[in-house]
Amino acid sequence: MGVINVEGLDFTVADGKKILNKISFKIESGEFIALVGHNGAGKSSLIQHLNGLLKPERGKVSVTGLDPAVTRTSMMAKHIGFLFQNPDHQIFNITVIQEIMAGPKNSGLSPAEAEKKAKSVARTVGLSDKLEENPFALSRGDRQRLAFASVLAMNPEIMILDEPTTGLDFSESREIMEIIDRCNRQGTTIIMITHDMNMVLKYARRVLVLKAGSILADGPVHSVLRNGEILEEAGLLSPGIFQLAHFLKERGLDIQGWSVEELFEAMRKKLGV
Ligand SMILES: Nc1ncnc2c1ncn2[C@@H]1O[C@H](COP(=O)(O)OP(=O)(O)OP(=O)(O)O)[C@@H](O)[C@H]1O
């Protein structure tokens, strides 16, 4: 039994449109999964079934052995942390510190313990100097960090991140991704929705590709992203390294399995620089 099990999940909206169609997969504890697909493929609808925001019309969902459709939100929040696409949908308090403390306090920590936890998480995400600020006076990037800090403060076993680097610049994105990566190395299961195939390649180990509400591919990142046909069918761009590999292979140089550093070294030698 995985930490997340989804079996035969269907979801149809009021006008009869089928949004999810017989979705089944199992996720083991500690995996780092990228959930990818074209706009409207059903990614958000799928993850909303994992925290009980949506209830299965048909099929079964279990998360850490719990059925999200009938489990209290506060109980689910002890196991699973959500970062929504728009941080403003999950910010409710009037100062940064209160916002980060809210989850730990609700889960039973004393105010002093919750404050200590919040300060430590604020340091991790780089918000230590903004603890007394009003969240809505922060930049978009800082609001994203704040929403992420509130997730981190709960130490969830599973984190579901809907485009976690939206609105962040390159270095802010990298900082957040490094924190997510560290959490995963410490055992947190990660499911990350993203449109950025380079990010998938760099951080995830397994990728689920959704197309029009069905799973088009589910497998190790390298084998799925190397498959140009699947990516094309899903309306996704393969990361540059695979496009380059394809280009070079057609010209007689097979770089399959090489790291960027190995490729760089080979090019350096070839060019004599
Ligand atoms: N409650 C609803 N009523 C009607 N249509 C809906 C509802 N919820 C989702 N949809 C439609 O279902 C489809 C899938 O939406 P969903 O947000 O799950 O896709 P997505 O893959 O997350 O897209 P994006 O990458 O744009 O966030 C879309 O066409 C959306 O308009």
Give the distance (Å) from ligand 1 centre to CA of residue 40: 5
Query: Which residues share a beta bridge with 219?
Result: 207
- Domain-wise residue ranges, the chain: 4-236, 239-273
Nearest protein Cα to ligand 1, atom 12: 19
39 lines ligand 1 (CB under 6 A): yes
Between the alpha carbon of residue 135 and those of residues 25, 125, 190, 235, the distances in Å are: 37, 14, 26, 36
* CATH architecture observed for domain 4-236: 3-Layer(aba) Sandwich (3.40)
Residue 11: per-residue pLDDT: 94
Percent of the chain with pLDDT over 70: 100
Give the distance (Å) from ligand 1 centre to CA of residue 191: 18
42 lines ligand 1 (CB under 6 A): yes
pTM of the model: 0.87
37 lines ligand 1 (CB under 6 A): yes
Kindly state the average pLDDT of the residues 10-32.
Answer: 94
Angle, helices 140-152 vs 96-106, to 10°: value is: 20
Let me know the angle formed at the C-alpha of 217 by 182 and 24, rounded to the nearest 5 degrees.
85
Q: Report the sign of the C-alpha dihedral through residues 114, 119, 125, 130, in that order.
A: positive
ipTM: 0.94
